[in-house]
Amino acid sequence: MRYTAGMTTTAPSLIRERAAAARAAARRLATLSTAQRNAALLRIADLLESDQDAVLAANERDLRAAAENGLDAYYIDRLTLNPARLAQIAGDTRTVAALPDPVGEVFDARTLPNGLQVARRRVPLGVVATIYESRPNVTIDIAALCLKSGNASLLRGGKEARHSNAALGALVQQALAGTEVPPDAVQVVADPDRALVDDLLKAHDLIDLVVPRGGSQLIEYVRTNATMPVVAHGDAVVQIYIDEDVDLDLAETVVHNAKTRRYSICNAVDTLLVHRAVAPAFLDRMAAKWGATVTFIADARASELLSAARHPGVAVEPATEAAWKTEHLAMRVGVRVVDSMDEAIAHIETYGSHHSDAILSDSYANSMRFLDEVDSAAVYVNASTQFTDGAQFGLGAEVGISTQKMHARGPMGLRELTSYKWIIMGRGHVRPL
């Protein structure tokens, strides 16, 4: 999907009006107690479970339109809401409410030789904007994390989820009514006009941070045009290296989960790098387990091991250079046989996106070396990459997953939505001439 700006069909002041209202609300929100903010979060969670009908009806409209427009299966999976998923979102919202509040935390406190007491105190960023595509759960995840951390949020979802996002926004407003949280602290912009994105990206005087979530073209557009700081990741090309010293039962279980649990998410594995010493036995296992359900995109050596003569009915395609750089979001996985861990790490550095990568190994030395040398936001030993998720990391939810090397890397939770101010306590101190 190519991402470009659209022609203006709405008043250009809409985003600025919303952002200004959010900024005013952020000042009030930052003064509320943890208990007051938590009360609003718990009210949102309750309504997600008790008042689902309007949200599910709106989601059904979006799903019908997605099917009519021929959207890919992974888009439809991301778009889908149902009672079980709403219950999970409600549970994540309660988890956020139960987490320690980072706002007001004082750290790095010290007394200088002159007697001045100096420390840093955590404060909200202010107004956090998010531009995202077909995942309506993001609306609640980000609203919850921002509320807990004292930030106002401006949420602009994609046209595929416009009805779902509008219904979720209305539910949040209903939840905030009667609490101490100002309603303008959560602004859901369901209008699909892409000109609104350009207005948002120009509003650096009102918005403190923008987090794009979606395809690489959206993210690149935001990075190129934003006038405020951006935290994002591009395509999430995820690799797993199967070491020569490995428990094959463990490797089979982990790889199966990393590919098939949910193939449509950014932390699903895209490429398997298999040491030549275990490649025949490992690929025999995976071919028997997957049959034709997962297509192997194989290099020459892997293709021989997965040949029709050895494994009739298994789906195999020849790998190209582009395949190693592809985030598949489908039941497809690249397979390359490597001669060493050096070769595997070089492949990850060349073709990966510094998102999530893993080693499966019984060698402590190899595992520690992999942790040291692979420069990704999340690096695993003997575990599925599908754990790269704010909720799974104990953050309750996530605003996004950052592959940048700023203050936020990997899943962004509450702490990553704060900055700090210096606080200085004196007793009539003056600086000498």
The residue ranking higher by pLDDT, 170 or 214, is 170
pLDDT-based confidence at 234, cuts 50/70/90? low
What one-letter code names the amino acid at 115? G
Average pLDDT over residues 79-103: 95
What would the pLDDT profile of 33-62 be if each residue is shown by its tens digit?
999 999 999 999 999 999 999 999 999 999
Task: Report, in this order, helix, strand and coil percent for the chain, each rounded to 5.
Answer: 45, 20, 40
The residues with which 101 forms a beta bridge, in sequence order, are none
Residues 189-207: b if buried by 16+ CB within 10 A, e if exposed: bbbbbbbbbbbbbbbeebb
Domains along the sequence of the chain with CATH: 13-231+412-424 (3.40.605.10), 239-387 (3.40.309.10)
Strand partners, 209: 128
**Which tens digits make up the pLDDT trace of 129-187?**
999 887 899 999 999 999 999 999 999 998 999 999 999 999 999 999 989 999 999 99
Strand ranges (E), 64-116: 106-111
- Taking residues 273-296, report their average pLDDT: 96
Higher pLDDT, 363 or 397: 363
Closest to 81 (Cα-Cα) out of 199, 184, 158, 163: 163
User: pLDDT averaged over the chain?
Assistant: 92
Whether residue 117 is predicted with pLDDT greater than 90 in this model: the reply is yes
Provide the phi-psi class of 382: left if phi over 0, else alpha when psi is between -120 and 50, else beta: left
Q: What is the pLDDT of residues 335-391, one digit of tens each?
A: 999 999 999 999 999 999 899 999 999 999 999 999 999 999 899 999 999 999 888
Pick 5 or 379 by higher pLDDT.
379
CA 179, 87, 161, 157 torsion-angle sign: positive
Report the alpha-carbon distance of residue 270 to residue 385 in Å, rounded: 10
CA distance 132 to 127: 16
- At residue 390, the pLDDT reads 82
CA distance 321 to 368: 29
